[in-house]
Structure 1
């Protein structure tokens, strides 16, 4: 590999390329509506360019790539039966490119560089929101909420949460030059401040769960391998018991009250009921990916009017599974459920094995964040969103890591003629 190509596609040599690329991507995900189509084209360019230079980045180990691309491929296929084929075709291509970019990034970006680029990008995002200092009236909650430069307080809280995760990972799990510590500290403090000011219950709860997952993954990996599975099983059993007990004791209602929410989840339960009724009309294949929220559809117009969405855009069913059910039916729902299962299974599988503890903690936190947010948001089933990009990144990284660990373990097994002590420890792709 020549030096010039390595400076773009080699994770050990391409910091100068991938860190700005990740920072740019974060800004585009946050403010593409503000900055226009050119920002989206810039995002496409920085990740498709490495693939064009070296297609083997993905083609060398295509199994996991093909598996993960089944979801965007099915979204694209739904154009064939979509009620709004032009909307489905456009959105599915955009989603496919976003997801594909995440796969390319996973193969050429180290976890530390992802965290560094994410920290820089989030700092700029939060700074731009602070400069705009916007408030909006929430017709459902009946009060004003700080939303910065976003159209929603939930989006502000979302990026504030990511800012905290990225920056704290640089301090806690990755080796970071001291010269960067002031910037990291400013990002972490800004993220905490913006998260609190956003007053977003979804963001606060998902942040708590994400950091719990980070600490739990780190704790489990301190244990001997034979203790890890038992610890995880006991923890999951305990969590399930606590959830069931809280249902009977009214803890859920108390939690909602603590965040100033009612039992309708500020109108989400009504929205979900409407979605179930609409989805039941074409339950197997759905209306077509992104085909529901189009101008002129009576049900969409009625929901926009009910929830005071005067722009008649940027709205959704506030649940990744329900949104998918309406758009692509039970078949598409099966694909997204499989993706959610992978977000649980792949980090656990990696934690049970061997690898870089810091990177596994980092990815476990991000996986937990997207799983929790899927209950109230559609982060990883829509185009040009940080969730679609990072979920692809996380899963391919974990697939590659587990594959490398298995391969190293098979090489380290003693044979009749020789042993391979030098291969007894798997370094994996995280080192």
Structure 2
């Protein structure tokens, strides 16, 4: 009976993870995402289901959940700033609803951290992403009108997701998880390598140039962290300095040659409109730099967002940059709180890798923090309600401070 309950809980967890990642129900219920966001009642019901499941499962092990909850104050301070932003928000009611959704999302992160070790969490994510990859391929074969074709490119894949960039971002994360598990796990290693290859293939089929670059960088980041951080300080510091110098030089060269490089692959230096969008967003940030416009309201058909849309001449759903969206929502106050927590945990992850060289789980912290930075340069996942990435950010931090395995 105990084994059955454990298996049932794992299945429910995988289902919840898929809801946050994106389910096959979404394109089916919205006719290939042709219905408006307000008509997608199924989404709200599914996320409400995850909140109820999280609260129920946390109640069963409330002592461990309370312990995990108390292990990092900055993510909860950030949630508190989101709540307080309702006092200066453009729409306080919307902010409160969004904060409740964010709290429910983070609650699921607390459950994961209190119930599973970090590696167990990643294995559950690997199961979920494997199912998602299979469904993306199945949709492309059986109902291509729902899964292939994006604005400006009728051949790019989007799978079971709303657009190609989401598919690309999702399997950059998937590639990182499969690669990490393949490098640190002995069991079923060939299956994990297969998952890594399929993830890379889906990133290629999405035709998201940014995602492809991030996929390569995440793979390289693991290898670099794995090799370099175990060296002696006298060797590590010069190597890190050299790699940083080379990285900056390559970045500078890329910027100077952007027209030629992007033009050769059919892209342009506007990064699909982002180069026009970001200056317009910065102008709006300058109007409320300290506290922002309130959590989750700026892009909700506000008069302020309409100014940005009129400027760029396309319907931007967000700033396509997580750091700018965080600044828009919570001002420098929110950016400052997030930055402090991020830097502290990043440095702590480096210390854990060097101090506890027998544990590979600490490497995931560094890899995922790198992914968080990269993914938020051109998309938005920071402090995003109902976001798989934000759940994994919360669990990565909390799990690193909860060394013992949480049992039922």
TM range (shorter): 0.7 to 0.9
Measured after TM superposition, the shift of residue 46 of structure 1 is 3.4
- Cα deviation for residue 99 of structure 1 reads 1.9
Q: Is the 8 A contact 2:262 2:269 kept in 1?
A: yes
* Partner residue of 2:11 out of 20, 34, 39: 20
Corresponding residue to 2:238 among 231, 234, 238: 234
> Residues 27-426 of structure 1: matches in 2 within 5 Å?
27-31=18-22, 34=26, 35-60=42-67, 63-133=70-140, 134-139=147-152, 144-176=155-187, 178=188, 183-220=191-228, 222-223=230-231, 227=232, 229-246=233-250, 248-250=252-254, 253-254=257-258, 256-257=262-263, 260-297=266-303, 299-300=305-306, 303=309, 306=312, 308-309=314-315, 315-342=317-344, 344-401=346-403
Provide, for residues 331-354 of structure 1, a one-character-per-residue CA deviation record: whole Å limited to 9, x for no partner: 011122224324532321211211
Query: 1:319 and 1:343, CA in 2 relative to 1: closer, same or farther beyond 3 A?
Result: farther
Shift of 1:62: 5.2
Change (3 A) 1:398 1:260: farther
Are residues 252 and 113 of structure 1, via their aligned partners in 2, closer, same or farther at CA, if it must alter by over 3 Å?
A: farther
SS of 2:360's partner is helix
Unaligned 5+ segments in structure 2 are 27-41, 141-146
Give the 3 Å change call, closer, same or farther, for CA 18–357 of structure 1 in structure 2.
farther
- Higher relative contact order by CA 8 Å / sep ≥ 6: 1 or 2? 2
Cα shift readout 1:107-150 (whole Å, capped 9, x = no counterpart): 221223222211111122122222332223334xx665221221
Larger Rg: 1
Distance 1:302 1:162, change over 3 A: closer
Secondary structure, counterpart of 1:75 in structure 2: helix
Change (3 A) 1:336 1:393: same
Computed over aligned residues only, the root mean square deviation of the Cα atoms, in angstroms, reads: 3.0
Q: What is the number of residues matched between the two proteins?
A: 382
Partner of 1:408: none
Aligned to 1:417: none
Q: Is the 8 A contact 1:286 1:326 kept in 2?
A: yes
Q: Post-superposition shift, 1:377?
A: 1.5
- Any unmatched runs of 5+ in structure 1? 9-13, 402-427
Return the TM-score normalized by structure 1.
0.79
TM-score, structure 2 length as denominator?
0.83
- Hey, what's the Cα distance between the residues in 1 that align with 2:173 and 2:20? 12
Structure 2 CA distance for aligned equivalents of residues 382 and 123 of structure 1? 24
Is 1:321–1:337's contact at 8 Å kept on the other side of the alignment?
no
Asked whether the 8 Å contact 1:21–1:117 carries over to 2, the reply is: no
